[in-house]
Structure 1
């Protein structure tokens, strides 16, 4: 009987750690929560996940004297004429992703995605078209896009591609053990 108690006492820290891990794992209800935890979570994040910044090909580390950091996605993830980066603020779990694609020399289309961790919402924001320093929005944006053979359908496809393939897809491929 005494030997069983010793064995239980010896194994109890591992059991507690395992239960703690399961509790965190079950509390992460979406891929965005998992992504956010991989970068901002407690010590268990190192056991559970690769840091998000590593999954996007960034070798930069957080600078302690900075209030925010911008981490670009590697060229191996996005195409040559595309740029995607994530903006993270110190002491905040709300993130902003910014995507831009060059349609021609000095012609760029871009938009963003934000993750509101309090309300657990991931949404697209801020669509723009820029040509030679002039920015267009709304109907003017669509008119300008038409000169390059692009329309609302193209914008929807690009948005879906960025969200599903670049942001979430990269996480599923390089970081998540649950969703991959």
Structure 2
């Protein structure tokens, strides 16, 4: 009889533990964790800080918002740089926008998006916005060189944004499970212009 009472008393804790483990193992990479930390069920409060809090925002996602854009705090990205994330309800394919100000009339811009089907955190585009015009492709690299920057700088800056600002901030402030050495089932893909030699 005592064993039955003990089992009955322990069963809520066992069920809670099994539920927690089920969610924990279902989040197979950091981008899924990030999404769950902001959009998940009540268990997200037990497992993670809200994602918006980890990027330095004091605003929490409102239940009636379909999407919302949040800037990263100046303590994470500041000075000549700006980074924000557009979060979409019921989707993990959020878009991260980054801008590096070269001068008052020119900036390098890039975006990253998580492709949930192929499990790739992908740099979607990189371009120069100067004097009200967008410059892309090989023209972009030529124009960029006039500011004393080239493909190596662009590659390093892209990696800094993806690995230090976006993922690194999450590893530092949100997730203890994943790291740059352990991305789960996810890969990082950079724009072809960055990868070309």
User: TM-score by structure 1 length?
Assistant: 0.94
For structure 2, the 5+ residue unaligned runs are: 180-197
Count of residues in correspondence between the two structures: 179
* Residue pairs, 1:93-172, within 5 angstroms: 93-172=92-171
Deviation beyond 3 Å, 4+ runs, structure 1: 63-66
**Correspondence for 2:176:** 177
Q: Is contact 2:39-2:89 (8 Å) kept?
A: no
How many angstroms does 1:64 deviate by?
A: 4.3
Range that drifts further, 86-95 or 62-71: 62-71
SS in 2 for 1:32: helix
How many angstroms does 1:15 deviate by?
A: 0.6
For structure 1, the 5+ residue unaligned runs are: none
How many angstroms does 1:66 deviate by?
A: 3.5
How many angstroms does 1:63 deviate by?
A: 3.8
**Correspondence for 1:25:** 24
* Residue pairs, 1:5-16, within 5 angstroms: 5-16=4-15
Give the CA RMSD over aligned residues: 1.4
Query: Counterparts of 1:26 and 1:86 in 2: how far apart (Å)?
Result: 25
SS in 2 for 1:113: strand
Q: Is contact 1:40-1:93 (8 Å) kept?
A: no
Range that drifts further, 27-36 or 79-88: 27-36
Range that drifts further, 120-129 or 159-168: 120-129
CA distance 1:133–1:97, shift in 2 (3 Å): same
